[in-house]
Homo-oligomer: A and B are copies of this chain.
């Protein structure tokens, strides 16, 4: 399986960084091909520009700015996101990746009626999210887990409703123990080594 990992955390010593390493370890052990987009390291600019917000006919600018991301999307069979949940959702740098890449022009085409779109990449069969939460599971449940909805309803429905999805998350990190963290990392590696 060809796997594209989109990764967003500013610190190398974070639990997300450790989760990324363990995901890569599991995937390489199982013999999968992996490409990582480390958005902080790439200095990815998350703000959709004026030109990109223009109607698609004018948005050649959009397509070229995210050409590498679109090429990798077309190549990928599994789409993996690794990030900390802040304010219930994706860090801005990753939200910007969705805003700029998964839009008409770069990665989507219009289909029939005006607000129907389909991807111009075709072969994604897995959408996987690995994410960490400072607050507890019930606080997140109370807030409605907005970031989970964006990924598992929004992004997955765009990719394909037939794509399999998986949500691997750690909650309550503000008070977690080393055992909690280790068990989360083990779950991550286990999942990817049997993808």
- Quick check: B115 and A99 within 8 Å, CB to CB? no
- Quick check: A174 and B134 within 8 Å, CB to CB? no
How many copies of this chain sit in the oligomeric assembly?
2
Q: How far is the CB of A141 from chain B (nearest CB, A)?
A: 11
- A149 cross-chain contacts in B, Cβ below 8 A: 88, 143-144, 146, 149
Interface band, chain A = 35 or more
Q: How far is the CB of A57 from chain B (nearest CB, A)?
A: 15
Q: Which stretch (A19-27, A45-53, A69-77) binds chain B?
A: A45-53
A9→B54 CA distance, assembly (Å):
12
A132, CB-defined interface residue at 8 Å = no
Query: Which of the residues B47, B98, B113, B175 comes within 8 Å of A87, measured between beta carbons?
Result: B98
Interface majority SS (helix, strand, loop, mixed), chain A? loop
A73→B154 CA distance, assembly (Å):
32
Query: Which of the residues B50, B150, B153 comes within 8 Å of A11, measured between beta carbons?
Result: B50
Interface 1/0s, chain A 166-190, versus B by CB < 8 A? 0000001011000000000000000
Q: Which stretch (A28-36, A89-97, A119-127) binds chain B?
A: A89-97
A193→B160 CA distance, assembly (Å):
45
A-B contact pairs, 5 of them (CB 8 A): A87-B98, A88-B150, A92-B96, A144-B144, A146-B146
* Chain A interfacial positions (CB closer than 8 Å to B): 9-11, 14, 40, 44, 46-50, 52-54, 86-93, 95-96, 98-99, 102, 113-115, 134-136, 139, 142-144, 146-147, 149-150, 153-155, 157, 172, 174-175
